[in-house]
Structure 1
Amino acid sequence: MRILSTLLVLGSLLVLAGCGSSTTRDAPEYAYRAIPASATSRVSGDFSGAPGVSAFIRRMERHGFPPSQTAAIISGAQRKQSIIDLMDRQAPSRKKGPTGAWTRYRAKFLTDDSIAKGVSFWRRNEAALDRAARRYGVPAEYIVAIIGVETRYGGFVGKTRIVDALATLAFAYPRRADYFTGELESYLIMTRDERLDPFAPRGSFAGAMGLCQFMPSSFRDYAVDHTGDGHRDLWSPGDAIGSVANYFVRHGWQPGEAVAVRARVASPTTAKVMKAGYKSDYSLRELESQGISPVASPGRSGRLSLLRLDARGGYEYWIGLKNFYVITRYNHSTYYAMAVHQLAQAIRARKGGSSGVRLSSSR
């Protein structure tokens, strides 16, 4: 999913300011009703005369949107200065570690309350999670953990109208206009195909949607109808569960394989100067030659990453496997992926027992 990695810090904090989830199917279905040919294609309102609007209207014609229809939607969107202000905020400057940054980050997600709510979400949605595990080979705890980190299990899906967020960033935020114009394009196609009122769905200030916070382009590529009702509804736990699993497997999830294992470091001085992070690339032999070894078997390891976490009291080292890298495709951050991994393990341990699902080696 094209979740914005540059918004990691803002996203993890602002999700707390969202609103409770509700399916977009609560309201009557919206048909993209034909607008009379005499209707104007001129845009009024906040985006009247804004750069890129005329080109966008022509762009949507390629998808069968009459200019008057696109203009009517843009005319109804509102420019939100608060969104621009949030986008302009800079992440905290990097300091030479260790400063305990990982410990603070982890504490946002691995709380007793979050683990308990994860178990409760799992039990409420056990059938959908079991079905996803069988079909895609992704363990239930990792699907639950993603939804927990993204939206507190659907409790905080965001309260900004998606059309306002995307129009603001497409037509009033030049730095990322190209990206968000594409997302607005995908969004209008999504609402038409799913027969949704384009002014109804709400989500994050950057346009991420539903329990799993997909951007519209990710909805197009990875969302699935896991409930079998003929719609892909990310505000529905069932479809969100299936979509997360599909996203993982489409990015190379290895069923039955580990995600990350703790590393034993013989020389902290040597490990400190080695390239680390989810993009680092080592063989097990290369790591061991530097005095770094896994405390447990990494399984069919292949290429590995060295993960260095800035924990309180000193650096903490892990070895990331292919499935760890897959989690970073959701959000390009080592800390994010490790929080998902550790929350998943904590939820699994708290729930106890087996899910009763045998994961196949292929989809």
Structure 2
Amino acid sequence: MRLIHWWYGMLATLVFLTAAAQEPASYRAGTEGFVSEMVRRHGFDQGELVTLMGQARYSQAVIDAIRRPFEAKPWYKYRPLFLTDRRIQGGAAFWRENRGSLERARVVYGVPPQIIAAIIGVETNYGGNLGRHRVIDALSTLGFSYPKRADFFRKELAALLLLSREESIDALGLRGSYAGAMGLPQFIPSSYRAYAVDFDGDGRRDLWESKADVIGSVGNYLEQHGWMSTEPVAFPTRVTDGAPRGIAPAGKRPVKPSISLDRLKAAGIVVDDGHLPGSTRATLIRLHAPEPEYWVGLKNFYVITRYNHSNLYAMAVYQLSREIQATYEAGRKRQDFH
């Protein structure tokens, strides 16, 4: 028995020493500066914060993950990751199970149930994958040892500690994505503080256990970023001459809608919007596939990209939402028939 305890002790020591060996000098230096800043700017107790941040750990896995995001894939490889039968069926089930909250979110925020369900489906598969990284490790690693976006992630780490103080949340116990996103809707800490809502009225904003809060928070996020309840999201199109005349289509990067539908038509884009006025602003999007796909994205499409700054993400959410809606409505028709 003593030999077993000795072996586990040696293994734990080896793991700690290996992690310490990987830790760059910037990590501890960044920690010290961050603690001083939080004490000065936000009134944290220095001793308590030193103890807390002393338990954060550098993660090479986080650095590796942020260097190979899903959105780096071409559309024809990205789409199958999210447009699966499991996510479609899961979205319809999520809608059925949370119909009241989703319908209330439609009334309050103007966002349809299928869009909210699709975002939660893409983000965490309806809570099935909340992330494996400790949020404090992810944010401190990126804030102190990823110079490319260090300023952004230091601000998110500050927001995490403020959120922890405001909501009585254990900052060390939270797990999420490699970028520090949390809960079913994968809100980063600043978004949690700004857009999460207490939709079930229990006095707390809980994005892990309260499906109502999750639904309301996603709806509020989209509404606050300009969602228009009376306008569609996007529609497929084609180019009559093989390439648009005088218009450079957007690729993976979101572009704010600025081209009128009338101008798109003049450039050889087939616009089959049904009822929108020609002055409606839009973006022409080209998706990389064996045969290029052209889409017209409207304001609501751009709003979805505020959740994740990628046209691939927004298109996956939109297409998944349509499949969820079709499956949900088919199930309702079967129920009505019987």
TM range (shorter): 0.7 to 0.9
Deviation at 1:72, TM superposition (A): 1.2
Q: 1:125 aligns with which of 71, 94, 98?
A: 98
8 A contact 2:71–2:312 mirrored in 1: no
- How many residue pairs get aligned? The number is 302
8 A contact 1:48–1:75 mirrored in 2: no
Q: 2:130 aligns with which of 140, 157, 169?
A: 157
Provide the alpha-carbon RMSD of the alignment.
2.4
Amino acid at match of 1:64: G
Deviation at 1:176, TM superposition (A): 2.5
| SS of 2:316 mapped into structure 1 | helix
Unaligned runs of at least 5 residues, structure 2: 1-22, 333-338
8 A contact 2:70–2:78 mirrored in 1: no
User: Which residue of 2 is the match for residue 326 of structure 1?
Assistant: 303
Q: Return closer, same or farther for 1:261/1:295 CA change in 2, 3 Å cut-off.
A: same
1:217-228 to 2 correspondences below 5 Å: 217-228=190-201
Is 1:347 matched with 2:324?
yes
Is 1:289 matched with 2:263?
no
| SS of 2:235 mapped into structure 1 | strand
The whole-number CA distance in structure 2 between the counterparts of 1:117 and 1:252 is: 27
Higher relative CO (Cα under 8 Å, sequence separation at least 6) belongs to 1
Amino acid at match of 1:322: K
The whole-number CA distance in structure 2 between the counterparts of 1:332 and 1:158 is: 19
Q: Over residues 264-316 of structure 1, what are the superposed CA-to-partner deviations in whole Å (9 max), with x where a residue is unaligned?
A: 42111336x7311241631111111112122232525621111112233x122
8 A contact 1:305–1:321 mirrored in 2: yes
Deviation at 1:89, TM superposition (A): 4.0
Q: 2:66 aligns with which of 72, 87, 90?
A: 87
Deviation at 1:179, TM superposition (A): 1.4
Is 1:307 matched with 2:285?
yes
| SS of 1:254 mapped into structure 2 | coil
The whole-number CA distance in structure 1 between the counterparts of 2:126 and 2:274 is: 32
8 A contact 1:133–1:140 mirrored in 2: yes
Is 1:214 matched with 2:191?
no
TM (norm. structure 1) is 0.77
User: Which residue of 1 is the match for residue 244 of structure 2?
Assistant: 270
Q: Over residues 79-133 of structure 1, what are the superposed CA-to-partner deviations in whole Å (9 max), with x where a residue is unaligned?
A: 2222122234488989xxxxxx323222111122211111011111112111111
User: Which residue of 2 is the match for residue 336 of structure 1?
Assistant: 313
Please tell me whether Structure 1 or Structure 2 has the larger radius of gyration of its CA atoms: 2
Q: Which has the higher helix share?
A: 2
Q: Which runs of 4+ in 1 moved over 3 A?
A: 46-49, 88-94
Q: Return closer, same or farther for 1:302/1:224 CA change in 2, 3 Å cut-off.
A: same
Q: Return closer, same or farther for 1:177/1:343 CA change in 2, 3 Å cut-off.
A: same
Q: 1:55 aligns with which of 33, 43, 60?
A: 33
User: Which residue of 2 is the match for residue 70 of structure 1?
Assistant: 49
Amino acid at match of 2:43: G
8 A contact 1:253–1:323 mirrored in 2: yes
Q: Return closer, same or farther for 1:148/1:91 CA change in 2, 3 Å cut-off.
A: closer
Q: Return closer, same or farther for 1:92/1:117 CA change in 2, 3 Å cut-off.
A: closer
Q: 1:257 aligns with which of 205, 222, 231?
A: 231
Amino acid at match of 1:260: A
Q: Over residues 9-47 of structure 1, what are the superposed CA-to-partner deviations in whole Å (9 max), with x where a residue is unaligned?
A: xxxxxxxxxxxxxxxxxxxxxxxxxxxxxxxxxxxxx79
Is 1:316 matched with 2:290?
no
